[in-house]
């Protein structure tokens, strides 16, 4: 009996390995639009796909620090545009530009990578504006970009690749980041089912912790200090200054363990765009595979204990 089960598992993984090695053809004729190419995953993916011969349309937030630097590091095939995903007029202009670039062929790939991580802090320290700032970039901007470009993706029977996070499965800290990633997961799931009959495939990238600009330690510290300074007297009294310092130290400890190997994520993105049979979800990093995702399946009380047992205690806590 066990032998049959082992044989079935071996056949399953062998078939999966074979299917995932099959790639689509005519890559030099395919256009891919990527948001958030100033740094991190977007910057590296743009270079990576350009090296594979695809026609990369890279959207950056800035010209000098983003688009110009990327053009210097890539071939003449790569084209850049300036895009703030929180501005509808920017998105409309980028959509018209992409349409002019791809013509009747349509857009093979859309990679929604643009995102921010701060402000992040215990929820009670934050204001509605703090949440909206992150929501506008990570979720609302992603949705508007997708809806604007979907007709071009449908024409090419192409791919949509949305960058979520393991924090879209398991909330580890407060603020708008985790809710936006839960939202990306939900939006991507509905989109995948709706577009199946059009031949469009939707993949979700779920990275663990990686050393990108949105997790810069100085940026996190500055954001926390700003949020704490704006917190009410009642909140400061309830949590205490020691909690603030300990909370930052825990964040610092977490950031010290994250991976510098961004290729684990960009390789997954590349596979989602170039494989004949892309995965629905790509979990990237050992922390995602061995810690966050397994904990997300535990009973809630167990997960709560594991995630809070080493956290600092507020001044007026029980």
Which sequence positions are flagged as catalytic?
177
- Element spanning 283, H or E: strand 281-284
* Tokens describing residue 31: 């256009």
Give the residue among 189, 202, 118 at the shortest CA–CA distance from 158: 202
* Residues 118, 219 contacting (CB under 8 angstroms): yes
C-alpha torsion 282→287→289→291, nearest 10: -140
- As a whole number of angstroms, the distance between CA 1 and CA 303 comes to 35
Give the residue among 175, 312, 307, 177 at the shortest CA–CA distance from 245: 312
Strand partners, 80: 58
């Amino acid at each position: 009996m066990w032998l049959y089960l082992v044989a079935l598992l071996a056949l399953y993984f062998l078939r999966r390995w074979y299917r995932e090695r099959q790639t689509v053809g005519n890559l030099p004729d395919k256009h891919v639009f990527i948001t958030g190419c100033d740094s991190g995953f977007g910057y590296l993916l743009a270079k990576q796909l350009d090296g594979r011969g695809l026609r990369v349309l890279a959207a950056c937030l800035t010209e000098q620090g983003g688009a110009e630097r990327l053009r210097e590091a890539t071939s003449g095939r790569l084209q850049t545009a300036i895009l703030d995903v929180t501005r509808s007029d920017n998105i409309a202009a980028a959509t018209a530009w992409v349409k002019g670039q791809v013509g009747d062929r349509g857009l093979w790939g859309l990679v929604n990578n643009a995102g921010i991580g701060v402000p992040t802090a215990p929820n009670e320290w934050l204001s509605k504006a703090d949440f909206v700032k992150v929501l506008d970039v990570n979720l609302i901007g992603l949705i508007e970009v997708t809806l604007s470009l979907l007709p071009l993706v449908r024409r090419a029977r192409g791919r949509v690749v949305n960058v979520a996070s393991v924090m879209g499965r398991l909330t580890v800290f407060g603020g708008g980041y985790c809710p936006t990633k839960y939202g990306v997961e939900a939006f991507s799931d509905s989109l995948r089912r709706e577009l199946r009959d059009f031949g469009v495939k939707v993949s979700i990238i779920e990275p663990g912790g990686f050393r990108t600009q949105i997790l810069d330690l100085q940026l996190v510290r500055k954001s926390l200090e700003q949020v704490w300074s704006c917190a009410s007297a009642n909140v400061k009294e309830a949590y205490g200054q020691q909690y603030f310092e300990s909370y930052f130290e825990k964040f610092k400890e977490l950031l010290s363990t994250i991976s510098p190997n961004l290729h684990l994520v960009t390789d997954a993105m590349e596979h989602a765009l170039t494989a004949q049979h892309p995965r629905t979800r790509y979990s990237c990093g050992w922390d995602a595979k061995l810690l966050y995702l397994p904990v997300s399946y535990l009973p809630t009380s167990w997960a709560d204990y594991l995630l809070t047992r080493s956290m600092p205690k507020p001044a007026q806590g029980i």
